[in-house]
């Protein structure tokens, strides 16, 4: 097989959550362990940092990888889902996995695939671990897919576990309360392994404390390590002031990640840096400042308050759940309070949308669309649900057609936000607008 044929095989032959939803989710670690056993237990051959959370885990993973890379460590990075290219999931020092490795790995695991019948995610996790082992990385930053306790990535023994935050998402799998969701995320806490919590919440703090006590794991809360406030933002950099809670020392920091919601992720990442010093991975302050100012350049992160063009302003964001959409709307209000807003929206079909749709303003103009995957919610259905919240607009079967319609009707001072799903952003064609 060539690379395209291999990717087509992975997409079409293996159960894939992003395409078919919960039917692809395996509620145990058996398949991943079996794959890793056949590969010689690659998950035990490199040091790792494990990151879970409802929102922010992808951004935090990229920030930490950028810092480690800038500090001189050969750094692996595993994240999901990808936006434009499969290789985005598996990187070493910001470079996507070699195509030949993807081909050879897929071919060499055909026999074990026949026995195990892994999901797409299970196989790609094993692929990442095998690649990081072959590349002899110093450390790999591993983002969970869903949850944590039963997530396929949860076969590693990290030097540090991080849980960014807890919110409502994937309730059909993880539970209907914050406590239930926190329990699943807390599954990445390991015996005698420090854990860092990015955001605290009255409903979830006790869950994390109990799990950490059971595991005899030192637990830290990022807000007790640093406080952080935004001092400036847009169009090209976000500037924050960080205060060391222990010493009171204040410093200014810039990042190329523009979303104001990144403030809490920055706090988590720099609190993790402080812990990593005692775990064998010191990161000089100069490397921290340099790397955070160019996370996108170092790691290739996309889809987080991604400014595509101006006059009118066009922004892409992968916000897809209640908490994520809420912070996007808060930033629109803060940065563009007197502008007309246009929303290009598309969601998946297994997400409860009542709370999400209730957040959007009826005064905005809407362009309803859908991705071209089986799991996508047809735009006609989205229009019907949105009408109950007085959100009016037209429907489009292609996100790019919807964006062009928004650009055609928007004034120069208006703002167009494209959000609702990773898979909507994945089908955009930024260079064509």
Q: What is the pTM of this model?
A: 0.92
The domain boundary residue, chosen from 246, 266, 299: 299
> What's the pLDDT at 172?
58
What SS3 state is found at 325? helix
Residues 136 and 279 in one domain: yes
* 361/363 Cα distance (integer angstroms): 5
Residues 71 and 44 in one domain: yes
Tens-of-pLDDT digits for all 433 residues of the chain?
999 999 999 988 776 544 444 454 556 799 999 999 999 999 999 999 999 998 899 999 999 999 999 999 999 999 999 999 999 999 999 999 999 999 999 999 999 999 999 989 999 999 999 999 999 999 999 999 987 898 999 999 999 999 999 877 655 567 678 889 999 999 999 999 999 999 988 989 999 999 999 999 999 999 999 999 998 765 678 999 999 999 999 999 999 998 888 999 999 999 999 999 999 999 999 999 999 999 999 999 999 999 999 999 999 999 988 988 999 999 999 889 999 999 999 999 988 899 999 999 999 999 999 999 888 999 999 999 999 999 999 999 999 999 999 999 999 999 999 999 999 999 999 989 9
Residues 323 and 268 in one domain: no
Going by C-alpha positions, the residue among 204, 203, 201, 213 that lies closest to residue 185 is: 204
Residues 290 and 316 in one domain: no
CATH code of the domain covering residue 343: 3.90.190.20
* 407/401 Cα distance (integer angstroms): 10
> What's the pLDDT at 236?
77
Residues 293 and 319 in one domain: no
- Residue pointed to by tokens 């809407």: 366
Residues 18 and 70 in one domain: yes
Domain interval for residue 38:
3-299
Domain count, the chain: 2
Bridge-based pairing state of the strands 90-92 and 219-221: unpaired
* 292/60 Cα distance (integer angstroms): 11
Neighbour-count burial for 324-350, b at 16+ CB within 10 Å, e otherwise? bbbbbbebbeebbeeebbbbbbbbbeb
Residues 412 and 397 in one domain: yes
Residues 285 and 316 in one domain: no
Residues 71 and 164 in one domain: yes
The domain boundary residue, chosen from 280, 299, 318: 299
Residues 318 and 272 in one domain: no
* 278/157 Cα distance (integer angstroms): 17
Residues 358 and 380 in one domain: yes
> What's the pLDDT at 12?
83
CATH code of the domain covering residue 116: 3.40.1190.10
What SS3 state is found at 314? strand
The domain boundary residue, chosen from 278, 299, 320: 299
> What's the pLDDT at 233?
62
* 105/108 Cα distance (integer angstroms): 5
Residues 315 and 292 in one domain: no
Q: How many CB atoms lie within 10 A of CB 19?
A: 19
């Amino acid at each position: 097989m060539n690379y395209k044929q291999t990717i087509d095989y992975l997409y079409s032959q293996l159960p894939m959550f992003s395409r078919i939803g919960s039917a692809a989710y395996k509620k145990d670690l058996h398949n991943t362990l079996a794959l890793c056993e056949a590969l010689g237990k690659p998950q035990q051959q490199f040091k790792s940092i494990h990151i879970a959370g409802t929102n922010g885990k992808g951004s935090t993973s990229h920030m930490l990888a950028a810092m480690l890379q800038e500090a001189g460590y050969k750094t692996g990075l595993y994240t999901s889902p990808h936006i434009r290219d499969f290789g985005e999931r598996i990187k070493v020092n910001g470079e996507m996995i070699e195509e030949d490795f993807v081909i050879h790995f897929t071919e060499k695991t055909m026999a074990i695939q026949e026995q195990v019948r892994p999901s797409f995610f299970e196989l790609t996790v094993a692929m990442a671990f095998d690649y990081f082992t072959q590349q002899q990385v110093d450390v790999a930053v591993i983002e969970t897919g869903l949850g944590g306790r039963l997530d396929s990535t949860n076969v590693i023994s990290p030097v540090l576990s991080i849980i960014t935050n807890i919110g409502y998402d994937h309730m059909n799998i993880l539970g209907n309360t914050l406590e239930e969701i926190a329990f699943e995320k807390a599954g990445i806490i390991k015996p005698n392994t420090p854990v860092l919590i990015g955001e605290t919440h009255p409903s979830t703090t006790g869950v994390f404390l109990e799990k950490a006590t059971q595991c005899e794991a030192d637990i830290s809360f990022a807000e007790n390590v640093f406080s952080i406030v935004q001092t400036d933002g847009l169009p090209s950099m976000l500037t924050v002031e960080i205060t060391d809670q222990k010493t009171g020392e204040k410093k200014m920091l810039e990042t190329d990640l523009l979303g104001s919601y990144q403030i809490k992720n920055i706090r988590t990442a720099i609190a993790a840096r402080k812990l990593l010093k005692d775990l064998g991975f010191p990161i000089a302050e100069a490397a921290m400042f340099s790397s955070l100012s160019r996370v996108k350049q170092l790691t290739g992160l996309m889809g987080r308050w991604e400014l595509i063009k101006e006059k009118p302003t066009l922004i892409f964001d992968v916000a897809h759940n209640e908490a994520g959409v809420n912070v996007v709307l808060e930033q629109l209000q803060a940065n563009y309070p007197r502008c007309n807003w246009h929303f290009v929206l598309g969601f998946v079909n297994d997400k409860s949308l009542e709370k999400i749709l209730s957040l959007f303003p009826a005064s905005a103009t809407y362009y309803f669309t859908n991705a071209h995957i089986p799991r996508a919610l047809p735009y006609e259905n989205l229009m019907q649900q949105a009408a109950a919240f007085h959100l009016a607009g037209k429907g489009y079967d292609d996100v790019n057609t919807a964006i062009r319609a928004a650009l055609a009707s928007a004034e120069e001072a208006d703002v167009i936000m494209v959000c609702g799903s990773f898979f909507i952003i994945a089908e955009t064609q930024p260079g064509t607008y």
